[in-house]
Amino acid sequence: MTALTLISKPDCHLCDVAREIVDSVVADLPEGQVDVEELSIADDPALYATWWEKIPVVLIDGDLHAHWRLSADRLRTALSAKATA
42 close to 48: Cβ distance less than 8 angstroms? yes
Q: Comparing C-alpha atoms, which of 8, 6, 1 is closest to residue 75?
A: 6
User: What is the spatial order of strands in the sheet that 63-67 belongs to?
Assistant: 34-40, 2-8, 57-60, 63-67
Strand partners, 67: 57
Tell me the pTM. Answer: 0.94
pLDDT along the chain (85 residues), means of 10: 97 97 95 95 96 97 97 96 80
